Structure 1
Amino acid sequence: MTGTPIRNAMSVDVEDWFQVQAFASVIPRENWESCERRVEANTHRVLDLFAAAQMRGTFFTLGWVAERHPALIRRIVKEGHELASHGHGHQQVHVIGEAAFRADIRRARAILEQAGGVRVVGYRAPTFSISARHTPWAHPILAEEGYLYSSSVFPVRHDLYGDPSAPRRPYLPHPDGVTEIPMTTVRAFGRSLPCAGGGWFRLLPYGLTRAGLGRVNGTEGQPGVFYFHPWEIDPDQPRAEGAGRLSRFRHYTGLRGMEARLVRLLAEFRWGRMDEVFGAVIAAPLPAAA
């Protein structure tokens, strides 16, 4: 790469260890209040890491978390990060349907704005549960509820999420909807492969993420989107009883080395908030997807 390196968007999905989709069958929503809450301490640790790296990011935060930890929300805003919505109750969009989706994102936005004292314009669906096939109504509802962009589509094939037919660059899924900023992928072997963090970042060699993101920035000349969860830097978190082998593997593998990997990534690339990195495409009208 020559000249000033491209700035990528760093994002954090603020949810607790017991709220992940992998544990939904063994930790029902009605049991959340009895679980040990670790999201506040873990997110404070993330904020410390960001401060040390002198960078800002976007915190897609559950309304459920903001309702119980308003001081954490105030710190996110005070330190210059973007406060965005991850919905309220971490429910998959294609499962709950249109009416419940509208109620969920409206409730989350109200709680976040009250706690943070700032306007919330960004949204990320739990478990990337938005797609052209299953939720064509989602982007128009987001626009009607006051959001300006979504980062909810992962253009990959996966057993829990993904829309492999989706564009790899920001696009307008519906003429009456918000801009979609998809998660970053690289093209290889005739398909789109993930290069945006999450479990892939913990499970695969660090060099793959570094090379993939470098290719997106250098060869393609595009900014990337990276994400992780506060619980991913918490190797001592409780173990979910009754969870299946695959769920345990995905959730717990690589936790002990995650923080060091993250610190390295923060140092090797330039980072910023979603609304800053993609400000132009959020503000400017895009042609609707075919």
Structure 2
Amino acid sequence: MNPNILTVDVEDYFQVSGFEHRIKRSEWEALPSRVEANTDRLLQLFDDCNVRGTFFVLGWVAHRHPELLRRIAAAGHELASHGYWHQLVYNLTPQQFRDDIRDSRSAISDATGKRVDAYRAPSFSITSKSMWAFEILVEEGFTVDSSVFPIRHDRYGVPDAQHEIHHRETAAGTIVEIPPSVALLGPLKIPVGGGYFRMFPVAMTMYAMRSIHSGQNPSMLYLHPWEVDPEQPRIAGVGLRSRFRHYVGLRRTERRLKQVLNEFRFAPVCDVLQRWNDNALA
């Protein structure tokens, strides 16, 4: 059976979409950065558990912390793009999106010399309003995307999207879509990762992963470095919903993550896709 997919969206605590109305991008440089220490914390945990994953890195982080990216690569993890400025795709023009993914890819490649083939939109913001992004991704040489979340959410999601890994056709060619994982429990959908991982009982996440992984389709866990940092600075003036989403369960994330990493097999996107392609050709 295929291993599951482990992914990390590498961004700092002040760069999340829920805070963008409070923190301007021009202010990022002045804020105390914690992304390097938090990502190193994850790297140590993954090494302790002997797992490898895919790190979707924000280009802004790659540009300012190239040594961190080299440590990620040296530890055997795959590097991928999370855009450069953490902008929601559906708020960009097609040219702005093209520039953003080019800049992000350049920042990662400049730091590591590694080719970048996979992309994940900030806040999963390829939705019905921004499906045009796929053609641009293919034109720019990306072969894998992981941005279309098959749930309903106020900021992202395509509720009727496919749950399984699949090919998506565009006028420019084909791209492989790896949707963030969602399990079905009767009429309910159980997403796997991020705030859902911190909010739901860990037994529910493990149930969801086993349910998804009962066939050839792997489950995929996603998280952010700031989610293992309960001591991060609190951002003032944030609405109740954004505050809850960001801060709920931070103190238990690392403990839960250890449980899951010890319970399941994981691998980077590239390794799992190779197995998926081999099965499709068999």
**Structure 1: distance between partners of 2:46 and 2:221:** 14
Root mean square deviation, CA, Å = 1.7
Contact 1:83–1:116 (Cα < 8 Å) also in 2? no
Aligned-pair CA distance for 1:144: 1.0
Q: 1:35 to 1:76 in 2, by over 3 A?
A: same
**1:179 deviation in Å?**
1.2
SS of 2:6's partner is: strand
1:159 deviation in Å?
1.1
- For 2:199, the equivalent position in structure 1 comes to 203
- Label 1:102 to 1:281 Cα distance change in 2 as closer, same or farther (>3 A): farther
2:246 matches 1:274: no
CA distance in 2, matches of 1:242, 1:136: 33
The aligned amino acid for 1:236 is: E
**SS at structure 1 position matched to 2:169:** coil
SS at match of 2:48: helix
Per-residue deviation, residues 96-124 of structure 1 (Å, max 9, x unmatched): 12110000000100110110111110100
**What corresponds to 1:186 in structure 2?**
183
Give the C-alpha shift of residue 190 in structure 1.
Answer: 3.5
Aligned: 1:154 with 2:149: yes
Partner of 2:237: 242
* Structure 2 residue ranges without an equivalent (≥5): none
User: Could you say what secondary structure the match of 2:156 adopts?
Assistant: coil
Q: Is 1:64 aligned with 2:42?
A: no
Task: Give me the whole-angstrom Cα distance separating, in 1, the residues matched to 2:277 and 2:26.
Answer: 37
Q: Secondary structure at the match of 1:162?
A: coil
For 2:259, the equivalent position in structure 1 comes to 264
Distance in 1 (CA, whole Å) between partners of 2:47 and 2:280 is 34
Partners in 1 of 2:67 and 2:278 — Cα distance?
30
Q: 1:282/1:139 Cα in 2 relative to 1: closer, same or farther (>3 Å)?
A: farther
User: Retained in 1: the 8 A contact 2:192–2:208?
Assistant: no
Contact 2:150 / 2:159 at 8 angstroms: preserved in 1?
Answer: yes
Q: Which residue of 1 aligns with 2:110?
A: 114
TM-score under structure 1 length normalisation: 0.92
Residue 49 (structure 1) aligned with residue 45 (structure 2): yes
The percent identity for this pair of structures is 46
The equivalent residue for 1:144 is: 139
